[in-house]
Amino acid sequence: MTLRDWDRAKGNQPLAVLTAYDYTFARLADEAGVDALLVGDSLGMVFAGHENTLSVTLEQMVYHTEAAARGRRRALLISDLPFLSYQESPAQALRSAGALLRAGAEVVKLEGGAAMVETVAFLSQRGIPVCGHIGLTPQAVHQLGGYRRQGRDAVAAARLREEARLLADAGARLLVLEAIPAELAAQITAALPIPTIGIGAGPHCDAQVLVLNDALGLFLGRSPAFAKTYVDGAGIMADALARYVAEVHGRQFPSL
Ligand code: KIV
Ligand code: NA
C-alpha cells in the first residue's frame, strides 16, 4: 500500500490501521490485511508501561520502527515523531523524520495544528510524507488537562476544521482525528482532499486506527472508551502462562 493507493481509496473503501511495535505483531497485522501499520508513541504506555507518551525518545522510535518494518510486507508504514523530536524547529523535525525514514518508515506523524503548519510544509517540500494528528493529541495531555474529547463546542470545532485545512494545504498526506465528534470528523473528511484516519471520531473517516493492544485485549491499563476489543488476549494468555507454571510446579512439564 502506497500513499497513492490511500488516495485512491478515499471516498470508496474504508481502510484499517493498527499500531505495531515489534516484528511479530507487525507481521500478524500485515498478514491480516491492515492497510497501514502505525509505530505509535503509544508504545510508551502499552509497551513500556509509562503513564503517558512524553518519555518516548527518537532512539526508541527508531528501534521499534526497524522491528515493525521487518514484519511488514504490504501495509504502509507510519511512525510517530515523539515528544520534543520535532517541536523545536523545522530543521529538528527534518533530522528526526530522516531517522525514522532510514529505519523503514514511509510516513512520519506529528501532533499539532496551526503551530505545526510550517514544519509540515518544510518536510513535505523535502520529500517526506507527513501525517498530521489533531483533536486529542496525547503529547499535549497536560495542556489538555487529561485525555479528554476535543472539539465539542462550536469555537473548538471551527478551530479544528481550520487546522485540518491548514495542515492539508501545507502538504500533509494523511490526518489523524482523535476523540472528536463524529459529525465534525465527517465534515473534515468531506472537506479535505487527503485521507483522514479516525480514532474515537466516528464512522465517517476514511480510515480507522486502533491501538493493537486495545484490539487484542492486551492492555492492562485503562483503555479509552472508544477502543474496541476483539479478543480477551490478556485472559487467554494469563491462562496459558498459569498452566505452564502449574505444569512445571507439578512436575508435568517436561515429561519424562
Ligand atoms: O501513538 C498512537 O498509537 C497514535 C494513534 C492512537 C493514533 O498516535
Ligand atoms: Na501517537
The domain segmentation of the chain, as residue ranges, is 3-231
The residue whose CA has the least distance to atom 2 of ligand 1 is 40
Q: Which residues of 75-101 are buried (b: 16+ CB within 10 A; e: fewer)?
A: bbbbbbbbbebbbeebeebbebbebbb
ipTM of this complex prediction, to 2 decimal places = 0.99
Contact 227/210 with Cβ under 8 angstroms? Answer: yes
Write out pLDDT tens, residues 8-55: 999 999 999 999 999 999 999 999 999 999 999 999 999 999 999 999
If you measure from the C-alpha of residue 40 to the centroid of ligand 2, how many angstroms do you get, rounded to a whole number?
Answer: 4
If you measure from the C-alpha of residue 241 to the centroid of ligand 2, how many angstroms do you get, rounded to a whole number?
Answer: 30
Neighbours of ion ligand 2 (CB under 5 A): 40-41, 80
Grid coordinates given for 10 = 478515499
Q: 130-135 and 15-19 as β-strands: parallel, antiparallel, unpaired? A: unpaired
pLDDT band at 221 (very low <50, low <70, confident <90, very high): confident
Q: Domain 3-231 belongs to what topology?
A: TIM Barrel (3.20.20)
Contact 114/163 with Cβ under 8 angstroms? Answer: yes
pTM: 0.98
Write out pLDDT tens, residues 194-212: 999 999 999 999 999 999 9
Q: Is 215 in the pocket of ligand 1 (CB under 6 A)?
A: no
Q: What is the C-alpha separation between 229 and 216, in angstroms, rounded?
A: 6
Write out pLDDT tens, residues 118-177: 999 999 999 999 999 999 999 999 999 999 999 999 999 999 999 999 999 999 999 999
The residue whose CA has the least distance to atom 1 of ligand 1 is 40
Rounded mean pLDDT, 64-89: 98
